[in-house]
Amino acid sequence: MADVSQPDAQAPAVVSLVQRMRVRTRELHARAERSGVIAAILAGQATRLDYAIYLRNILPVYQAMEPALERQRDRPGIGALVPPSLFRAASIQADLECLAGPGWADVLPQVRAGQQYAARVARAGGGDGGMLIAHAYTRYLGDLNGGQIMRRQLVRLFGSDFTAVRFLEFPAIADTSGFAAAFRAALDAAANQLADPDAVVQEAAIAFELNIAVSQEVAGLQSASQRAGKPAP
């Protein structure tokens, strides 16, 4: 008689939603680091204006996502994804004021890719809000992890007195690594409530593609201005 107390060696390992999103977006993550204005920042070749225009175009993404997360707070699993310490919109606005003054919205251009990204996130906030899991994964874990590399590079590039990095600082979180691990667990817990986890995995890939498009379009805007012999707006 078989010993049923022993695990089946042939049984497939359980793969969490976060693991699936990580595998699905691995190549896209690498491409994001090699593309557009993000690549320029990491290479130490960006200008303050590059960075300001990038922030101006990802701000609407957070402005769409964070109120949507708040609206869906009472949905099973979603409430754990909305700690105020994670929200970035106010920090980005403060950085934009530092970089371009209180009239930043009038002087920094919006690119089409940024508008498309924000619209996608707004749609994700409809229904049961399940698609927001993908966008919370791509944005917040990116800010907590790779964003710290970008913060250090920005300070190295623009000087130790460069303060427009509030977007990438989390003063209310003492242990960002531990917090990120808990957030991944919260994402997986939220996934238990999903009717279609495959759609969330695909949404995470779409989010990466949209962020790459923003980065590339911002870099292209600057390149076009330089070819024309005039500063970007």
Radius of gyration of the chain from its Cα atoms, rounded to whole angstroms: 19
Tell me the average pLDDT across 78-99: 93
Give the per-residue pLDDT at 14.
56
Give the C-alpha separation, 214 to 113, whole Å: 5
Rounded distance, CA 105 to CA 97, Å?
Answer: 9
122 closest CA partner among 73, 51, 60, 183: 60
- Please indicate whether residue 211 or residue 81 has the higher confidence score (pLDDT): 211
Pairwise pLDDT comparison (101 vs 3), residue with the higher score: 101
Return the axis-axis angle of helices 197-227 and 17-33, rounded to nearest 10°. 10
Question: HSE-up of 38 (CA within 13 Å, CB side)?
Answer: 23
CB 27 within 8 A of CB 208: no
Q: Say whether pLDDT at 224 is over 50.
A: no
Q: How high is the pLDDT of residue 228?
A: 44
Q: Is the pLDDT of residue 233 over 80?
A: no
Q: What is the pTM of this model?
A: 0.89
pLDDT for res 94 = 98
Which residues have C-beta within 8 Å of that of residue 214, sequence separation ≥ 6? 36, 54, 57, 58, 111, 113, 114, 117
Q: How confident is the model over 197-206, as pLDDT tens digits?
A: 999 999 999 9
- Looking at every residue in the chain, the average pLDDT score rounds to 89
**pLDDT over 80 (residue 27):** yes
Mean pLDDT of the 207-228 span: 81
CB half-sphere exposure, 131, CA atoms < 13 A: 18
Taking each helix axis from N to C end, the angle separating 48-71 and 197-227, rounded to the nearest 10 degrees, works out to 150
Catalogue all structural domains in the chain, each as residue range(s) with its CATH number.
44-221 (1.20.910.10)
- Report, as an integer, the average pLDDT of 6-14: 51
Q: Please give the pLDDT value at position 222.
A: 65
Contact at 8 Å (CB) between 115 and 60? yes
Distance (Å, rounded) from C-alpha 92 to C-alpha 141?
16
Q: Which H or E run includes 215?
A: helix 197-227
Mean pLDDT to the nearest integer, 58-66: 97
Spatial CA neighbour of 111 closest among 165, 36, 208, 44? 36
Residue 167 and residue 99: Cα distance in Å, rounded? 12
Question: Does the pLDDT value for residue 104 go beyond 60?
Answer: yes
More confident residue, 81 or 77: 81
Q: What is the pLDDT of residue 149?
A: 93
Confidence of residue 115 (pLDDT cuts 50, 70, 90): very high
pLDDT of residue 44 exceeding 90, the answer is yes
- Does residue 71 carry a pLDDT above 80? yes
